Chain A
Amino acid sequence: MAANAGTVPAAPGARRSLAPGLSIGLSTLYLSLIVLLPLAALSWRAHGWGAVSTPQAVAALRLTLGLSVAVALVNAVFGTAIAWTLVRDRFVGQGFVNALVDLPFALPTIVAGLTLLALYGPKSPVGINAAFTRWGLLLALLFVTLPFVVRTVQPVLFELDREMEDAAASLGAGRVTTFLRIILPSILPAILSGVALAFARAVGEFGAVVLISGNLPFKTEVVSVYVLGRLESNDSGGAAAASVVILLISFGVLLAIGGLRRWVTRHDR
């Protein structure tokens, strides 16, 4: 069976791996060195938990999570729509649009911030001034997270068995019913994968938001910028503490999305 499980297809040959012990050992070692060790060091450095419970820190945490959830939801809808257009429709300039999707990846995020500030800043040529507002933040985060859902859904949609849709139609299902009952459940795992990536990226984004947000405490200050502020005030312990908190929350959210994904792919096992 072809696994339609998004970025991480089930590996049917996993149990026949050449050297299972070796591959597990290597993966663990690598993850430990690259991810766990720095995180442990961060937690070690974290002290002055007071810095995390100040109203300013709580506001920054709230804003970051709220924005990230919003970004994830918007991406789930529009990322899927764009993937759909790229796979199912044929139009002039399709290759161009396809390449455009990856552009936010290719830009240094500070450049993305500059671009957005030029377009939606005080001297906006289109007459929209979103600088130093939460709308500006949302725009910047949507810009940098655009590719995730598109790129996770696209291949799954491409591989989707079109005959399922024919079968649904012959059984009396209209287009909307077919989409909701057949197509959406099939691409949902991929959407969730993309949503998790977009959420994670939004939580951690710095470059794209630092210019357009204006970093107004209680209004447009996100966690990454707050952490920088603590560092600049020589409070590295507080910076680390704030980092650990957002890290734990993010990890919890990612675990939850992973669990949801496992539940919607239960038929593959």
Chain B
Amino acid sequence: MIEARGIVKRFGDFTALDGVSVDVPTGSLTALLGPSGSGKSTLLRVVAGLEQPDAGEVSLDGEDVTRLPPQSRGVGFVFQHYAAFKHMTVWDNVAFGLTIRRRPRSEIKQRVTELLDLVQLSGLAKRYPAQLSGGQRQRMGLARALAVDPKVLLLDEPFGALDARVRKELRIWLRRLHDETHTTTVIVTHDQEEAMDVADRVVVMNAGRVEQTAPPRELYDHPANEFVMSFVGPVNRLGDTFIRPHDVELLLEPNGSTQEAMVQRLVHLGFEVRVELVRDDGETLSAQLTREQVETLELQHGQIVYVRPTHQTVFAD
């Protein structure tokens, strides 16, 4: 269980964290989601002890660790750019935490073998980080962090430097790893899809504050405010009204509640088609349809259609 209470962190004039309180339940996989500069990475580093907060407290499993240095906190940290020890082999990287604790050789050997197996790097133990791909380096980073049996595992944009395909693979793999180990895990990401995919709880942050904490589905269905609404998925904003593209229905004939619009562009994304529209009052919006729907409607560029939102959200100020 991680409890952060009223964390404030300033860098010169910039307030990175403006009184943030977050709870991470034991055994959960929580995502800190937000745009860059929202303070999510700073919060993670404060929990790890890599940054000292200007105010507030951090406790791990009920113990106040605010003044403890990182090496005494028992956290595992995974870095976006791997932070691999370049002069050590994969084996020595993973063994580092155990070696400096002067654990018996046989124990180190057993644990490192186990971990390399877990992250599927057994055959590469003698390589140096420079000889690994990005995905392999990050798996080594994970094994290294897990070697010391951390109370919590903290991942700072762990897949941010990888290409899209490897990123998705590792995401699924991380989720499976968590389901096996149940280590309390916090992952920082700016990618809402990644957060929704991997985490059971998502903390949305913006400008040094927490906007909302909820399971992925609830976050999407019941966003607390405009920011969350627009950050967790694509959205059309029409005046005070927010409509998800998949909640936009297109009709060929007008009925009482529809508005006229023209098809500006059809973007084919495999199964989905994004229809970009401009309404007769000049407002633009996009609709998300399936390929079949587009074929049934025989939509074409320049065509006039009638738009009806099936679901919309208005936030009271």
Q: Which residues does A use to contact B, with CB under 8 Å?
A: 1, 4, 161, 163-164, 166-174, 177, 181-182, 185-186, 264, 267-268
Contacts and interface: CB of A to CB of B under 8 A. Distances in A.
Q: Which of B70, B81, B101 has the most CB of A within 10 A?
A: B70
Contacts of A170: 48-50, 70-71, 73, 75-77, 145
Given A1-B130, A169-B70, A174-B71, A181 B83 contact: no
A173 B100 contact: yes
B222 interface: no
Given A164-B84, A169-B69, 15 more contacts: A164-B83, A166-B83, A167-B79, A167-B85, A169-B50, A170-B50, A170-B70, A170-B76, A170-B145, A171-B76, A172-B71, A173-B71, A173-B100, A182-B85, A267-B88
Provide the main secondary structure of the chain B interface.
loop
Contacts of A171: 71, 76, 96-97, 100, 144-145, 147-148
A173 to B, nearest CB: 5
Interface residues of B, number: 32
Nearest to B154: A170
B100 A166 contact: no
Interface in B69-108: 69-73, 75-77, 79, 81, 83-89, 96-97, 100-101
B306 interface: no
B103 to A, nearest CB: 11
Contacts of B88: 267
Provide the main secondary structure of the chain A interface.
helix
B128 interface: yes
A167 B100 contact: no
B96 to A, nearest CB: 6
A4 B140 CA distance: 21
B69 A185 contact: no
Contacts of B130: 1, 267-268
A181 B84 CA distance: 13
Contacts of B96: 168, 171, 173, 181
A33 B217 CA distance: 76
Contacts of A185: 87
A167 B87 contact: no
Contacts of A174: 69, 71
B148 A172 contact: yes
A166 B77 contact: yes
A167 B71 contact: no
Contacts of A161: 81, 83, 86
B128 A167 contact: no
Nearest to B80: A163
A168 to B, nearest CB: 7
B112 to A, nearest CB: 13
Contacts of B101: 172
Interface in B23-60: 48-50
Contacts of B129: 267
Contacts of A186: 86-87
A101 B57 CA distance: 44
